[in-house]
């Protein structure tokens, strides 16, 4: 609810409390989970000599744990556009509240991180913030849900995502395995 910025889950409104134990348990259990929230800052560098000197079409860099811990920077993506300009997307993550970072502070931090790489410094000097985005998706940090809560035979409703305990490694693998498992549950029922 915090991620969606709503006061009640539409799912709770759609199912009468007490008529489907799977749905009721699922809703109780997800309220106990903590999530990793993300914010994305999108910068643009015009097609210029600086952009032309950057030799990558697409480059993604994942930051070290110390940078993640100190700055909340998770990864940065550089992507050349069809007009020759470059989009720089900085992904930040937060365990509790999403923090708004001033653009000047972002650029100063990136300059400190990339201090030994002039081509990046040149890009950051010309980068202009064009948008910010709060991700409405999340990644569970604890209290993963039991897989028996993935499908309700009573209401023929299923759930998938990285918030189920499927003994997988990492959120993406868990989400994929959850989708595959849900497809099988639908076919069996």
Residue 92 maps to a domain? yes
Specify whether the backbone of 42 is left (phi greater than 0), alpha (psi in -120 to 50) or beta.
beta
Domains: count for the chain? 2
Distance in angstroms (rounded) separating the CA atoms of residues 109 and 90: 12
Of 118, 134, 150, which marks where a domain is finished? 134
d(CA 136, CA 30): 15
Q: In angstroms, rounded to a whole number, what is the distance separating the alpha carbons of residues 50 and 137?
A: 34
pLDDT higher at 167 or 149: 149
What are 32-48's pLDDT values in tens digits?
A: 877 777 889 999 999 99
pTM: 0.67
Q: Which domain holds residue 16?
A: 10-33+142-188
Region 78-84: mean pLDDT is 95
Q: Report H helices in 10-154.
A: 10-14, 21-30, 49-53, 65-71, 103-113, 118-126
55 and 122 together in one domain: yes
CA dihedral 122, 125, 128, 129 (to 10 degrees): 100
């Amino acid at each position: 609810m915090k991620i969606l910025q709503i006061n009640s889950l539409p799912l709770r409104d759609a199912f009468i409390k007490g008529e489907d134990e799977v749905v009721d348990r699922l809703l109780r259990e997800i309220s106990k989970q903590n999530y990793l929230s993300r914010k994305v800052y999108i910068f643009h560098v015009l097609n210029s000599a600086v952009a032309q000197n950057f030799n990558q079409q697409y480059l993604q860099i994942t930051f070290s744990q110390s940078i993640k811990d100190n700055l909340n920077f998770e990864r940065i993506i550089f992507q050349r556009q069809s007009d020759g300009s470059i989009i720089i997307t900085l992904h930040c993550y937060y365990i509790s509240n999403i923090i708004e970072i001033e653009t000047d502070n972002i650029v100063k931090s990136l300059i400190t991180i990339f201090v030994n790489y002039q081509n990046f410094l040149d890009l950051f000097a010309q980068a202009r913030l064009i948008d910010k985005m709060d991700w409405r998706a999340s990644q569970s940090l604890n209290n993963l849900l039991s897989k028996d809560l993935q499908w309700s035979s009573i209401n023929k409703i299923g759930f998938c995502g990285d918030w189920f305990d499927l003994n997988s490694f990492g959120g993406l693998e868990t989400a994929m395995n959850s989708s595959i498992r849900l497809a099988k549950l639908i076919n069996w029922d």
